[in-house]
């Protein structure tokens, strides 16, 4: 925090050779203030791996100065001791979070409506087409997320986000138009999801670094967990609203409402100004890509954290969420409204995880804790695959939602804090590639397995494979067992 740093050594501040004598009462007040000022300070400085020495040493030194002073990011925030959700004390982030939550709620509506529409259009081949929709959405991440990281380091993250949001809104309007016009087919949905995925790929890394610039390193975990919770909690509001809209007005109007949810965030991004944490990169694109990949490859801790999330997205990923409509109708025997409220479970779990992270913000969660959360998620999915009881399935999805937020929030935060400011966008591009670009595989894999073995057996088998892989990563990467 900037408060109290005026006397910090090494920051170029003149110090009197004869400091004034202080009374006992003054000394006691200073001790109390110092204790409050250093609370939670362990996360304000990025860990410096041995391999970080060299080309990034100066960048890391610069990072520490920015992290300690926090001049622009987080400006206007109250002291962290007075609020648990620290990032919400930053006005810029607070409004960004609210408008992003509105947009995510619309996205949650679209996901449910689209899955129901595919189920109706495809008939017996619905499992295959649900998998292909996942493929269409995520294949652009495979090809463009690394370039999205380069864009995040080269250009104004706010402007990159505006372009991405405009493309997402265009895709939403087009889906609404063909559905209301009565010409929608599975191929229409497939093509427009390609555009949706491209927008997400180029905008994802910029979104992560923009949030970091808004709140600063000390509030990053709070911001990431709140952002992840907003996405998960959109599964509470979005699907519930979608269920009523589909019944009352039809899917086309639901898609149109989703398009309108982009407007508040776009207007906010058009007027807000956020100072970046580092100067824009001018390195040629190919060289910039190589630098980012070399940085990640040289740090087993970062690579392992990416691997923890990547395993889950390869074998389960978004396809598992798409398959919930199959479990709802064919296993639990509930209607579309029952399916919509089944998703509420994961949203409740996400909120619970966010409260945990808010009240355990001073804990140094090790990599082993992150892997344990990912394992808990896989166990819950494995049991869910065989559940035929609606209440039990609901509770299991609570565990899935909580574990997912813990894993994603802690992984994202630790990776960002481990990367220098001047290369953070490319590191997050690699993270996006591993955690979202690899989702292109789970659609055909899980969708094909569901056709051959049925959705429950396919999901159970995938969860078991991921659980075994997580255990192997924990055993082979000793850095994960250390607090960072």
pLDDT exceeding 70 applies to what percent of the chain? 80
Q: Is 238 or 90 the better-scoring residue by pLDDT?
A: 90
- Which of 29-33, 297-301, 367-371, 431-435 has the lowest average pLDDT? 29-33
Asked, for residue 69, whether it belongs to a domain, the answer is no
Name the band, by pLDDT with cuts 50, 70 and 90, for residue 170: very high
Count: domains in the chain? 1
Residue 11 has pLDDT above 80, yes or no: no
User: At 114, which CATH number?
Assistant: 1.20.1250.20
pLDDT of residue 242: 82
**pLDDT band at 325; cut points 50, 70, 90:** confident
Higher-pLDDT residue of 13 and 260 is 260
Of 220-234, 257-271, 363-377, 445-459, which one has max mean pLDDT? 257-271
Confidence at 48, pLDDT banded by 50, 70, 90: very low
Residue 269: predicted pLDDT: 94
Q: What is the pLDDT of residue 18?
A: 45
Owning domain of residue 380: 85-481
Evaluate if residue 445 carries a pLDDT over 70.
yes
Q: How far apart are CA 193 and CA 204, in angstroms?
A: 16
476 closest CA partner among 317, 367, 314: 367
446 in a domain, yes or no? yes
Report how far residue 340's alpha carbon sits from residue 321's, in angstroms, rounded to the nearest whole number.
11
Give yes or no for residue 319 having a pLDDT over 60. Answer: yes
| pLDDT, position 484 | 54
* Residue 126 within any structural domain of the chain: yes
pLDDT in tens, 103-132: 988 888 888 888 888 888 888 888 788 878
What per-residue confidence (pLDDT) applies to 349? 87
pLDDT, the chain, mean:
79
pTM for this structure? Answer: 0.70
Is residue 390 in a domain?
A: yes
With respect to residue 422, please indicate whether it lies within any of the assigned structural domains.
yes
More confident position, 226 or 48: 226
Structure tokens at 187: 């191929």
Cβ neighbourhood burial of 194 (10 Å; 0-12, 13-18, 19+)? middle
Domain-embedded: residue 12: no
> Is pLDDT at 243 greater than 70 in this prediction?
yes
| Cα gap 253→255, rounded to integer Å | 5
CA distance 385 to 393: 9
* pLDDT band at residue 83 using 50, 70 and 90 as cut-offs: low
pLDDT band at 460 (very low <50, low <70, confident <90, very high): very high
Whether residue 461 has pLDDT greater than 50: yes
Give Cβ neighbours of residue 139 (< 8 Å, ≥ 6 apart).
194, 197, 440
| Residue-level pLDDT at 464 | 96
Position 44 in a domain: no
- The answer to the question of residue 238 being in a domain is yes
Question: Would you state the pLDDT for residue 132?
Answer: 83
Instruction: Report d(CA 63, CA 48) in Å as an integer.
Output: 11
């Amino acid at each position: 925090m900037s408060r109290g740093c005026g006397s910090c050594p090494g920051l170029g501040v003149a110090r009197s050779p004869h400091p004034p004598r202080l009374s006992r009462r003054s000394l006691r007040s200073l001790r109390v203030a110092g204790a409050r000022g250093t609370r939670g300070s362990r996360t304000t400085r990025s860990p410096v791996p041995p391999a970080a020495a060299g080309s990034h040493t100066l960048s890391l030194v610069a990072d520490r100065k920015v992290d300690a002073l926090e001049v622009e990011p987080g400006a206007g925030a109250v002291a962290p001791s007075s609020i648990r959700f620290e990032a919400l004390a930053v006005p810029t982030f607070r409004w960004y979070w609210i408008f992003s939550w509105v947009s995510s709620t619309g996205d949650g509506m679209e996901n449910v409506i689209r899955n129901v529409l595919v189920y109706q259009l495809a008939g017996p081949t619905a499992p295959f087409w649900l998998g292909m929709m996942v493929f269409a959405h995520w294949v652009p991440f495979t090809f463009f997320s690394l370039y999205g990281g380069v864009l995040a380091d080269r250009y104004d993250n706010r402007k990159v986000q505006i372009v991405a949001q405009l493309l997402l809104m265009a895709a939403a309007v087009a889906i609404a138009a063909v559905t209301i016009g009565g010409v929608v087919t599975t191929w229409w949905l497939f093509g427009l999801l390609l555009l949706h995925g491209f927008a997400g790929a180029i905008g994802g890394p910029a979104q992560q670094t923009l949030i970091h610039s808004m709140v600063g390193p000390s509030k990053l975990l709070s911001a990431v967990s709140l952002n992840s919770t907003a996405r998960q909690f959109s599964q509470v509001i979005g699907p519930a609203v979608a269920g009523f809209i589909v019944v009352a007005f039809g899917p086309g109007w639901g898609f149109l409402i989703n398009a309108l949810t982009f407007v508040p965030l776009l207007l906010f991004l058009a007027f807000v100004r956020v100072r970046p944490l580092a100067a824009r990169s001018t390195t040629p694109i190919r060289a910039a890509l190589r630098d980012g990949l070399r940085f990640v490859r040289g740090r087993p801790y970062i690579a392992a954290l990416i691997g923890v999330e990547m395993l889950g997205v390869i074998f389960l990923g978004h396809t598992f969420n798409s398959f919930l409509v199959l479990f709802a109708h064919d296993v639990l025997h509930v209607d579309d409204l029952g399916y919509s409220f089944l998703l509420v479970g994961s949203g409740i779990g996400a909120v619970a995880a966010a409260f945990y992270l808010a009240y355990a913000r001073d804990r140094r969660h090790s990599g082993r804790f992150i892997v344990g959360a990912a394992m808990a998620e896989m166990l819950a999915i494995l049991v869910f695959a065989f559940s035929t009881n609606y209440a039990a399935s609901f509770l299991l999805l609570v565990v899935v939602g909580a574990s997912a937020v813990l894993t994603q929030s802690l992984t994202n935060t630790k990776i960002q804090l481990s990367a220098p400011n001047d290369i953070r966008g490319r590191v997050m591009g690699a993270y996006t590639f591993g955690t979202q670009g690899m989702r292109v595989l789970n659609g055909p894999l899980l969708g094909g397995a569901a056709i051959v073995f049925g959705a429950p057996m396919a999901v159970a088998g995938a969860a078991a494979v991921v659980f075994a892989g997580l255990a192997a990563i924990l055993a082979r990467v000793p850095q994960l067992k250390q607090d960072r």
